Amino acid sequence: MRNRTVGTAITVSAIGLLLAACGGPPGGAGAGGDGSSAVEQHAKEVYDKLNGLTGKERTKELVRLAEEEGEVSIYTSNSDMDDVVEVFEDTYDIDVSVYRGNSESVLQRVLQEQSAGFYGVDAVETNSTELNVLNKENYLYPYESELRDKVREEGQAENWIASRFNVFVVGWNTNRVKPGEEPKSLEELAEPKWRSKVSLELDDVDWFAGMAEHYEEQGMSQQEIVDLFKRIAKNAKIVKGHTVQGELLSAGQFDVALSSYSHTIDKAADEGAPVAWRTSSGQPVEPVVIRPNGIGLTKTAENPAAATLFADFELQQAGQQVFEENFRIGSMPSDQDPLAGYDTVDVPGDFLASMKKWDRLYAEVVKGGTEVGGE
Amino acid sequence: MMTTASPAVGTDTVAASAWWRRWLPTPKMLILGVVGLVIGYLALVPLYYLLWGTFFDADGVSVAGFERAYGNSQIFELIGNSLWFAAGAAVLSLVVGTALAYLNVRTDVPFKALFFAASIVPLIIPGILYTISWILLASPEIGLVNKLVEPVFGSGTFDVFTIWGMIWVEGLHLSPIVFLLMVAAFRSMDPSLEESALMSGATRWQVFRKVTVPLARPAIVASILIMVVRSLESFEVPALLGLQNGIYVFTSRIYFVLRSYPPDFAAAGALAVGLLILAIIGVALSNIVGRSGKNYQTVTGKGFRPRPMELGKWRSVVGAGIILYFILTVIAPLVVLLYTSLLKYYTAPTLNVFKTMTLENYRELIGMSKAVTALRNSLILGIGSATLVMAFMAIAAWFVVRSRVRGRQVVDQLAFVPLVIPGLVLGLALSFVYLRSPIPIYGTLFILLIAYCTRYMPYGMRYAVTSMHQISSELEESAHVSGASWWQTFRRVIVPLLAPGLLAGWVYILVVSFRELSSSILLYSPGNEVLSILIFEQFEDGEFTVLSALGVVMVLTLILLVSIAYKLGAKVGLNRTN
């Protein structure tokens, strides 16, 4: 009798506790609306004030307000963030707290927090896809500055700004691919002589979308494009993750990696690894696909001025130099533009809207012509 | 908050007072109630979140997620690959883990110290490093082992990129779980049963088959259960080894549906529900096996002294086998890691390479400001979650195995639930709840502790329940007769007898908690970094050689910690000299 009471009590209480804790269905509306007003209002005033100023006046006011705030919280997937923060903290009297995850977890964390009315983040620094989602969800406040207008055109996104670009290149192992034998184009890699010698990355859907659009502009039909990639995939070993891909490329597991990041290859080559993405005469496999990564300011920032100052800093010489030192390609055009003269392709502007389609097609490609991610 | 039933109290009549007293929960009921509540709470929060996302969408109840998850011409191929892989890995880990445990506990095999390392090291090395080490060892193109045997067998003898390679790596990586479970089981087994069989003329092999294995059945079933579920949801090994030749498994689908934006939680949930059903059947089966009465209760009122069996002329043969196994599973991958950690980039070993070796990667590690914080946090979380989980599960195991409460199996089932919940979903569920909770847990180390306790509860429960099956109830009964309260009996009789199992579970949780990433990455906050976050960062940065150095440091730290735990554990554990 007693025993049964314990059992029942446990079940009932557990459910009770659970419901109390959840307070409703997951995915339901959070406290976002009302509780946000004061914070949001304050942030808006600061942003508007700064956006209304220009030149030295803006800089002076921005630094004053930012140092008054004294701290800023950044969520990022940028692997060079520690270096940027170090220089920033040396320059200004502001403490930066950094949450770093992969771009998916950065996005999920911001979505979760914002929908619950928890304002932990002042600026989000991540990949274009995730920033576009945040913009679509209406969580970002427009960032305006003279610096913004100087950024490469591909990087001037709606309500956020690119700080650097990921450049997808075809990389090769220089021990296994002799000078003169380097691939000239992606099409070439579909030929039988490259059988088992190339590698595709499992998740580079945005790279695939960029290349597909490029071929479409060249007059190929979608079917022809998918067929081409399937032929390449037949020659390919599928790898997950750019780090693994880079490591196995330099170890010689395969000769060519299709969608490497230029900085992965450059960094490895700098340490002496036998890898390259340009021939000795400086010629890469064209086109290279570029994807902006950038920073967006949140509407509910508790430190809006410091967040704005941080965005400025990333675009200024000091910030861009950190990216350069890490073999990244900054978003500000410079005299030694590493991409100058190369044929480049962007990730499609409507990538977010058609992501499911690209996802499905690319899954089909890497699966070697059979569908795995179907809807 | 609700507590165990305590309805309104009558004040004026004696009858009412008696009635009140009858309903007053005893300490035993309170303790059981609290443990049950905690387990229920930890399991149901993510489960509720998962099921809600699976069955409900904007328009109400929907099973469209199931269609998207399973309505695919290839689902059978995926399930087939998965089952093959899971069964293979489970069998390999079971055979290896059981054999090593038996030799270690019950025989006079040489090199016992090696066992310890052999049993723990594959567990400590982060999965991704362990797998990549195996690529560098056994890839047909660049594998060092292949280069070594090339003059004899020709090129590409071993191919790690096959289902066999996947089974090999996963099976070895999981075998420590079995080893730890089986060591605990064998320690608590009265060898006189085997000795009588031997005296009656049975051969050693017959004894092993007819006496030892049947007695260890609860532990074997628990091992199979954990191994199969673990391999079914494993993604690391299939992603790194299977994809190269287009071998896809069931979990790749969970990965694919969660990859896109917005993530298809309904389909991911539908896939997890499939695993959940499998797990529920598994737990029920394991309870049926364990329940068959006193068959497995080898720890009884009769004292015993586990005396090692003499291997005789086989001693040197088995010893050689152990050395071989040790070289294969521990030394080889570890040497690859150590070798890589001394380089600037990976390259096959030549004389020149050895000249360029440097400690630069270790220097970089020491220079990392976050490294110390992360190590400290990981230690706090690892020791904290291991201790909490094993303490609660010890009580829960008594509740499930010994009590006669109706529905007690539900507690066992609930404790197993988190095993099938994807780490990302657990992270989302916890942040959903604690972002809305008035108690400020979000953004602290405490939310990670909750996540870890949830994730490792299933293992803790299996370790505790398995040991509980071996303890005879007559010991408790005699304590009762001698006037001990339930709590006294539990502390003074049951816990010491459970000690080998509890310690094994504790060690397991401590070690694997150092690697937990999938929910930590969503839940940690600046200043609360853990070691796995650091590993992830190094990995994302492409710092494979620094990562290898970190792997080496982790192996050394955890070996030290586990050694200490065993030394301490030996003091509180089963006193074998009595």
B 354-393 residues with CB below 8 A of A?
none
Q: How many helices and strands in chain A, by DSSP H and E?
A: 15, 13
Query: Can you give the pLDDT at residue A375?
Result: 33
> In angstroms, rounded to a whole number, what is the distance separating the alpha carbons of residues A38 and A46?
13
Task: From chain B, pick out residues whose CB is under 8 angstroms from the CB of A240.
Answer: 239-240, 243
**A279 and chain B: CB distance < 8 Å anywhere?**
no
Do B29 and A272 count as a contact with CB atoms less than 8 A apart?
Answer: no
Query: Can you give the pLDDT at residue A2?
Result: 47
Query: Can you give the pLDDT at residue B506?
Result: 92
| Minimal C-alpha gap between B534 and chain A (Å) | 10
Do B52 and A26 count as a contact with CB atoms less than 8 A apart?
Answer: yes
> Does ipTM surpass 0.85 in this model?
no
Do B239 and A267 count as a contact with CB atoms less than 8 A apart?
Answer: no
Task: From chain B, pick out residues whose CB is under 8 angstroms from the CB of A247.
Answer: 132, 346, 542, 544
Specify if B12 maps to a domain: no
Mean pLDDT of A180-207: 92
B306 vs B279, more confident:
B279
Specify if B18 maps to a domain: no
Q: How far apart are the first and last CA of chain B?
A: 47
* Residue A211: band (very low, low, confident or very high) from pLDDT cuts 50, 70, 90: very high
Q: Is B262 exposed, middle or buried (0-12, 13-18, 19+ CB in 10 A)?
A: exposed
| Minimal C-alpha gap between B320 and chain A (Å) | 33
The reply to whether omega before B526 is within 30° of 0 (cis) is no
Rg (CA), chain A: 24
**A267 and chain B: CB distance < 8 Å anywhere?**
yes
**A254 and chain B: CB distance < 8 Å anywhere?**
yes
Q: In Å, what is the CA distance from A264 to each residue of A169, A202, B558?
A: 10, 17, 31
Least confident of A6-20, A211-225, A290-304, B239-253: A6-20
Query: Can you give the pLDDT at residue B349?
Result: 84
* Residue B328: band (very low, low, confident or very high) from pLDDT cuts 50, 70, 90: confident
Least confident of A137-141, A225-229, B118-122, B204-208: B118-122
**A179 and chain B: CB distance < 8 Å anywhere?**
no
Cβ proximity of B177 and B223 under 8 Å:
yes
Task: Report the mean per-residue pLDDT for chain A.
Answer: 87
Q: In Å, what is the CA distance from B359 to each residue of A264, B336, B338, B356, B537?
A: 22, 15, 11, 10, 20
**A375 and chain B: CB distance < 8 Å anywhere?**
yes
Specify if B237 maps to a domain: yes
Do B433 and A22 count as a contact with CB atoms less than 8 A apart?
Answer: yes
Do B542 and A264 count as a contact with CB atoms less than 8 A apart?
Answer: yes
CA torsion A217-A218-A224-A228 (nearest 10°) is: -110
A19 vs B297, more confident:
B297
**B139 and chain A: CB distance < 8 Å anywhere?**
yes
Specify if B177 maps to a domain: yes
Task: From chain A, pick out residues whose CB is under 8 angstroms from the CB of B5.
Answer: 5, 8-9
CA angle B45, B48, B51 (to 5 degrees): 150
State percent of chain A over pLDDT 70. 88
pLDDT digits (tens, 9 = 90+) for A158-167: 999 999 999 9
| Minimal C-alpha gap between A56 and chain B (Å) | 33
**What are the residues whose beta carbons fall under 8 Å from the beta carbon of B487, sequence distance 6 or more?**
B27, B28, B31
Least confident of A16-25, B16-25, B47-56, B314-323: A16-25
Specify if B357 maps to a domain: yes
Query: Can you give the pLDDT at residue A18?
Result: 46
**B432 and chain A: CB distance < 8 Å anywhere?**
yes
Specify if B500 maps to a domain: yes
CATH number at residue B34: 1.10.3720.10
CA torsion B343-B347-B349-B354 (nearest 10°) is: -30
Q: Point out the residue among A116, A239, A243 whose CB comes nearest to the CB of B540.
A: A243
> In angstroms, rounded to a whole number, what is the distance separating the alpha carbons of residues B420 and B229?
8
Do A242 and B541 count as a contact with CB atoms less than 8 A apart?
Answer: no
* Residue B291: band (very low, low, confident or very high) from pLDDT cuts 50, 70, 90: low
Mean pLDDT of B460-465: 91
**What are the residues whose beta carbons fall under 8 Å from the beta carbon of B395, sequence distance 6 or more?**
B31, B32, B35, B490
Chain-centroid distance of CA A152 in Å reads 17
* Residue B175: band (very low, low, confident or very high) from pLDDT cuts 50, 70, 90: confident
Task: From chain A, pick out residues whose CB is under 8 angstroms from the CB of B260.
Answer: 355-356, 359, 373
Residue B448 has pLDDT above 80, yes or no: yes
Range of the domain at B123: 27-572
> In angstroms, rounded to a whole number, what is the distance separating the alpha carbons of residues B81 and B79?
5
Q: Helices A304-315 and A317-325, interaxial angle, to 10°?
A: 60
> In angstroms, rounded to a whole number, what is the distance separating the alpha carbons of residues B460 and A304?
46
Residue A31 has pLDDT above 70, yes or no: no
| Amino acid at site A319 | G
Query: Can you give the pLDDT at residue B194?
Result: 80
Mean pLDDT of B461-481: 87
**A38 and chain B: CB distance < 8 Å anywhere?**
no
Residue A6 has pLDDT above 80, yes or no: no
Q: To which H or E segment does residue A61 belong?
A: helix A55-69
Instruction: Give the total number of structural domains in chain B.
Output: 1
> What b/e readout covers A80-116, taking b as 16+ CB neighbours within 10 angstroms?
bbbbbbeebeeebebebbbbbbbbbbbbbbbbbbbbb
> In angstroms, rounded to a whole number, what is the distance separating the alpha carbons of residues A141 and A134?
10
**A175 and chain B: CB distance < 8 Å anywhere?**
no
Residue B442 has pLDDT above 60, yes or no: yes
Q: Alpha-carbon torsion A232, A234, A235, A238, what sign?
A: positive
B28 vs A255, more confident:
A255
Query: Can you give the pLDDT at residue A22?
Result: 44
Q: Which residue has tokens 């709840």?
A: B433
**What are the residues whose beta carbons fall under 8 Å from the beta carbon of A146, sequence distance 6 or more?**
A54, A55
**B436 and chain A: CB distance < 8 Å anywhere?**
yes
Mean pLDDT of B405-430: 87
Interface residue of B3, B360, B405 to substitute, partner A, most A CBs within 10 Å: B405
Residues β-bridged to residue A173 = A275
pLDDT digits (tens, 9 = 90+) for B508-563: 899 889 888 888 888 999 889 998 888 888 887 777 888 888 888 888 888 888 88
Residue B262 has pLDDT above 50, yes or no: yes
Task: Report the mean per-residue pLDDT for chain B.
Answer: 83
Query: Can you give the pLDDT at residue B373?
Result: 87
Least confident of A38-47, A179-188, B153-162, B372-381: B153-162
B15 vs A340, more confident:
A340
Q: Which two tokens stand for residue B283?
A: 């737990």
| Minimal C-alpha gap between A32 and chain B (Å) | 11
| Minimal C-alpha gap between A4 and chain B (Å) | 6
Q: Point out the residue among B1, B41, B346 whose CB comes nearest to the CB of A251.
A: B346
Q: Which two tokens stand for residue B558?
A: 């955890």
Q: Which two tokens stand for residue A369?
A: 């012509």
Mean pLDDT of B367-386: 88
Residue B92 has pLDDT above 50, yes or no: yes
Residue B190, phi then psi, degrees to nearest 5:
-75, 115
A 204-243 residues with CB below 8 A of B?
237-243
| Minimal C-alpha gap between A14 and chain B (Å) | 6
Q: Which two tokens stand for residue A122?
A: 């002042």
Do A247 and B3 count as a contact with CB atoms less than 8 A apart?
Answer: no
Query: Can you give the pLDDT at residue A334?
Result: 82
Query: Can you give the pLDDT at residue B10?
Result: 44
A5 vs B113, more confident:
B113
- A to B CB pairs, distance under 8 Å: 224
> In angstroms, rounded to a whole number, what is the distance separating the alpha carbons of residues B136 and B143?
5
Query: Can you give the pLDDT at residue B260?
Result: 74
Q: Which two tokens stand for residue B142?
A: 């660049």
> What b/e readout covers B458-476, taking b as 16+ CB neighbours within 10 angstroms?
bbbbbbbbbbbbbbbeebb
Specify if B14 maps to a domain: no
Ranges A266-280, B150-164, B225-239, B359-373, most confident: A266-280
3-state DSSP of A88-155: HHHHCCCEEEEEECCHHHHHHHHHHHHHCCCCCCCEEEEEHHHHHHHHHCCCEECCCCHHHHHCCHHH
E strands present in A331-372 = 344-346
Query: Domains of chain A by range and CATH?
Result: 32-163+293-330 (3.40.190.10), 166-291+344-366 (3.40.190.10)
Residue B376 has pLDDT above 80, yes or no: yes
> What b/e readout covers A149-163, taking b as 16+ CB neighbours within 10 angstroms?
eebbebbbbebbbbb
Specify if B137 maps to a domain: yes
Which residue is closest to A74 within chain B, CA to CA?
B526
Residue B305 has pLDDT above 70, yes or no: no
* Residue B218: band (very low, low, confident or very high) from pLDDT cuts 50, 70, 90: confident
Query: Can you give the pLDDT at residue B7?
Result: 43
Cβ proximity of B555 and B373 under 8 Å:
no
B 502-531 residues with CB below 8 A of A?
521-522, 524-527
